[in-house]
Amino acid sequence: MRRLLTFFTALVLLLGSLAIGVLAADLPFWRRAAQLPLAADESYLPLTTIGAEVPAVSALPVTMAQQSDTAALEYAVRQARNAGSRALLVMRGDQPLLARYFGADDERTAKAVACLYEKLDAPVHVVPLAVAEMVKYSCNSFHGLKVAFGNEIGAICKALNVDSHEVMRIFCEDTKLNISPTYLRPGFAFGGSCLPKDLRALSYRARQLDVDTPVLSAALSSNEKQIARAYEMVRATGSKKVGVLGLAFKAGTDDLRESPIVTLVERLIGKGMQLAIYDSHVSKANLIGANREYIESEIPHIWTLMKGTVDEVVNFGEVVVIGNSAPEFRTIQPKLRDGQMVVDLVRAFGKKTSDETYQGVAW
């Protein structure tokens, strides 16, 4: 084994989902293999595996069954073949990573593993270990969500005597909204006049047909929890004066119907907080019809809270909530006072993460 390893810059093993118990955080075989010397470097050997699953290594250490080193290797290879490996997992010592989105905590590991992908016709991203692990879990969870969604639509279609495959064939032709990165970036709750209404309508029709659709039903519940998280972030500051930038459910519109920001504002007012709100697209003079009726029924005194500029809201609030992604909200940092808290629901400040004076809803 030692002689064989001197010919490699990385050790590669095909690993399927059933082999997780073999390639484990405290597996003696691989720990010893990682310490075997190379001809070019007498102390370094990154381990690379190709596998379908990734254990959460820091939280879920796995112990190996009582097997010899040879049996462990044979078992891993056999299970990989049976499971049909498809995802690339990188391992140095006991730290697994993904590839194409593979991780490395040091430049040396990154270079050694990157050479394996020189001819890969796909982008290669080197990311931190935890990011690589989470990408894998996110992918498989989303795949499961897609299966469940498709199956629930199929159940409703069958009850209505509708061709479910024809429905989903056309559904999948929309590569701008349905099959795309759109809506997949973490942020605030969805709203507007379409998504909440249609979700409720479809769930209601399913109940009429006696078709259980827990995924569809849970979407609205999950959306409400995101609003609750935002409220708790503001409440936790202990401040009573809150500035809100953005009232419509997205930038560039005056549509307030079922805007999650409106729901958040209602909740803050109900808890006795003082508010100042700015949205360049929302004004008493221009809002008409059902849109105006909605906001005046939800917050009757809304127009007394609206301000004419971003500066007025920033100057008023001990806490500033950024509620939609209007470009003018992304440039408020120089206007903030020392110690003034920002609750960001749209990641307005790029890659900034939560700290003492800044809280992102999902970052």
Going by the DSSP 8-state scheme, the letter that residue 335 receives in this structure is G
Digit-coded pLDDT (tens) for 212-264: 999 999 999 999 999 999 999 999 999 999 999 999 999 999 999 999 999 99
93 or 142, higher pLDDT: 142
Number of domains, the chain: 3
Among the listed residues 115, 139, 157, 194, the single catalytic one is: 194
Residue 72 sits in which domain range?
A: 2-128
If we measure between CA atoms, which residue out of 283, 268, 153, 253 comes closest to residue 193? 253
Same domain, 235 and 353: yes
Catalytic residue status for 139: no
Region 272-281: mean pLDDT is: 98
Pairing of strands 358-360, 88-92: unpaired
* Token pair recorded at residue 83: 């499971």
Same domain, 194 and 120: no
Q: Which of 180, 196, 221 is the last residue of a domain?
A: 221
Mean pLDDT computed over every residue of the chain: 76
Same domain, 89 and 168: no
d(CA 135, CA 101): 8
Same domain, 245 and 327: yes
d(CA 340, CA 61): 42
Same domain, 255 and 353: yes
If we measure between CA atoms, which residue out of 171, 138, 178 comes closest to residue 153? 171
The yes-or-no verdict on residue 294 having pLDDT over 60 is: yes
Region 286-292: mean pLDDT is: 90
Write down the pLDDT at residue 56: 34
Angle between helix axes 214-236 and 260-270 (nearest 10 degrees) is 50
Same domain, 71 and 42: yes
Kindly report the CATH number assigned to the domain that includes residue 236: 3.40.50.720
Same domain, 20 and 117: yes
d(CA 23, CA 76): 8
Same domain, 241 and 207: no
User: What strand order describes the sheet that includes 95-99?
Assistant: 11-14, 47-50, 88-92, 95-99
- When pLDDT is cut at 50, 70 and 90, the band that residue 304 belongs to is very high
Q: Which of 92, 109, 128 is the last residue of a domain?
A: 128
Q: Which of 221, 254, 289 is the last residue of a domain?
A: 221
Q: Are 36 and 2 in contact (CB under 8 A)?
A: yes
